[in-house]
A = this chain, B = another copy of it.
Amino acid sequence: MSAPDVISNVLAERYASAAMKNLWSPRGRVGLERDFWIAVMKAQRDLGVPIPADAIKDYERVKTQIDLESIAQRERVTLHDVKARIEEFSELAHRQFIHLGLTSRDLTENVEQLQIIRALELVRFKVAAALLALSRQAEAHRDVMITGRTHNVPAQPTTLGKRLAMFGQELQIAFARLDELIARYPVRGLKGAVGTQLDQLTLLGGDAGKVDQLEQRVLRHLGFKASLTAVGQVYPRSLDFDAVTALHQVAAAAASFATTIRLMAGAGLLTEGFQPGQVGSSAMPHKVNARNCERICGFATILSGYVTMTGALAGHQWNEGDVSCSVVRRVALPDAFYALDGSLETFLTVLRQMEVFPAAIAAENERNLPFLTTTTILMEAVKQGAGRETAHEAIKEHALAAAKALRSGGDADLLARLAGDKRIGLGKRALSAILAEAHRFVGSAPHQVDAFVDDVKPLAKRFKGSADYEPARLL
């Protein structure tokens, strides 16, 4: 009889990329912890703590021997996860020099923050990739006029490129926030059980200067620029909320895009595309479901749950700290990153595969354009000598009748109606001429696309590989 299946993390295993999984995997984490312990030991030794050089070598030699089952075994005895990992590492090295003067949180807070910032950087890279992919699509459809909609009802023309740039704009805001967060994200550092550095001070003979140097060494090892000065046992949990809400903003921008793609797919104007070999609906071959876009929306919903979780942690620590946050952070932090990573991988896939149906778009424009241009027609009628109020009244009459015809299943045929009305004074040819100028009705849309494309361009250089990042095949 075989061992029971391990229940896997759905977000990690179905949706997240290998890079994101590596950052948060238990194995990866043990590796980061061991590196951290070794860095601390080296710094402590340099600052006078009597740790033999050989001992450090012994730890280094075994640091990649990571046996998760053995660690789990130890934890089942002591019910103390950090203790289990200390014992495992020290027994492998046959030494007892790690974790000197450290409290558990000196280890775990710093390592978790390291995971967080690296994960944020990975997210930033993919957001850059998404912005670039979006800008390519916006550019490609810069001048494709579409029927702009407000309240889901035709309103004024815009271009597909502009619509895509609009989602890009939202993503840029999320990017800016991410960028700021990464730039200022501070690490807790080695602060001891209640944050006073007492044990490191004791270890280093009460020399505050040496404690500072140790802290600097640790920061340098971790790659952080800033550490927090006045913390308790833990860093303020609102910093987790800061991170997770930044992720939600990215997810929301992707969901804005996905929501409108779903609407357009429903109207037959485009498809999010298929992956090679993918089966859509076997029964109905004409059906192209926007299931990836639906999924992108789902990821944003998931993120909103982790926002609630981390939001509920913020402000709820007691005194110098407790672990009421522990189980929450074990879930919410990695899972928020997995979910966003899944969202970005899916988003990038859609951006590569989406297929636009220009003829269907044109047909929709044709149905709606006459309505959308009545303002312009009025102005032209007045120029040709019609009375403004008379012409306005006439146009309104016809627009209403045409709308009614449309709803009755007939053709709106608004142009014909207008052409036949002497109060307006514009013949079929004149009216057609106005509609032929339709490309002007998109206003600044193409220029707005250009501005977006220009804004985004530098990201390709700043983040090597982002311009041609290929998402892995989705499930």
Alpha-carbon distance A93/B440, docked complex (angstroms): 35
Contact A196 B308 (CB under 8 A): no
Residue A359 CB within 8 A of the other chain? yes
Question: Is there a chain B Cβ closer than 8 Å to A49's Cβ?
Answer: no
Query: How many A residues touch B, CB cutoff 8 Å?
Result: 184
**How many Å lie between the Cα of A375 and that of B103 in the bound state?**
14
Contact (Cβ within 8 A) B327 A298: yes
Q: How far is the CB of A164 from chain B (nearest CB, A)?
A: 9
Of A176, A206, A284, A290, which is in contact with the most chain B CB atoms at under 10 Å from its CB?
A: A284
Using known A-B contacts A68-B5, A443-B196, determine if residue A326 contacts B298 with beta carbons closer than 8 Å. yes
**Interface flag for A35 (CB, 8 Å):** no
- Check A432 for interface membership: any CB of B closer than 8 A: no
* A47 CB, nearest partner CB in chain B, Å: 16
Query: Which residues from B are CB-within-8-Å of A400?
Result: 285-286
The residues in A between 387 and 428 inclusive whose CB is less than 8 angstroms from any CB of B are 396, 399-400, 402-403, 406-410
The answer for the CA separation of A407 and B272 in the assembled complex, in Å, is 13
For A14, the chain B residues whose CB sits under 8 A away are 327, 330
Stretch in A76-84, A109-117, A461-469 touching the partner: A76-84
CB distance from A351 to the nearest CB of B (A): 16
Oligomer copy total: 4
Name A150-168 residues within 8 Å CB distance of B.
150-158, 162-163, 165-166, 168
A71 and B351 CA atoms in complex are apart in Å by: 29
Asked if B295 contacts A409 (CB within 8 A), the reply is no
B residues near A198, Cβ cutoff 8 Å:
156-157, 441-444
Looking at the assembled complex, report how far the CB atom of A61 sits from the nearest CB atom of chain B, in whole angstroms: 20
A451-B332 contact in complex given A148-B320, A192-B156, A196-B442, C-beta closer than 8 Å: no
- Cβ of A314 < 8 Å from any Cβ of B? yes
A288 interfacial by beta-carbon distance below 8 Å: yes
* Residue contact B311 to A304, C-beta cutoff 8 Å: yes
Chain-B contact segment, one of A23-31, A36-44, A124-132: A23-31
Determine if A202 and B379 form an interchain contact, defined as CB atoms under 8 angstroms apart: yes
Residue A224, interface by CB 8 Å: no
Would you call A230 and B320 a contact (CB within 8 A)?
no
A99–chain B nearest beta-carbon distance, Å = 11
Closest chain B residue to A290, Cβ basis? B151
**Which of A25, A68, A169 has the most chain B CB within a 10 Å cutoff?**
A169
CB contact between A10 and one of B4, B266, B331 (< 8 Å): that residue: B331
Q: Is there a chain B Cβ closer than 8 Å to A248's Cβ?
A: yes
Known: A170-B236, A192-B156. A297 touches B324 (CB 8 A): yes
Distance in angstroms from A349 CB to nearest chain B CB is: 11
Q: Please name the residue on chain B nearest to A254 by beta carbon.
A: B315
Apart from A241-B252, A358-B409, 5 more pairs, CB < 8 Å: A6-B13, A10-B330, A149-B320, A155-B284, A208-B444
Listed from nearest, the 3 A-B pairs whose CB atoms lie closest are: A359-B409, A255-B315, A196-B443
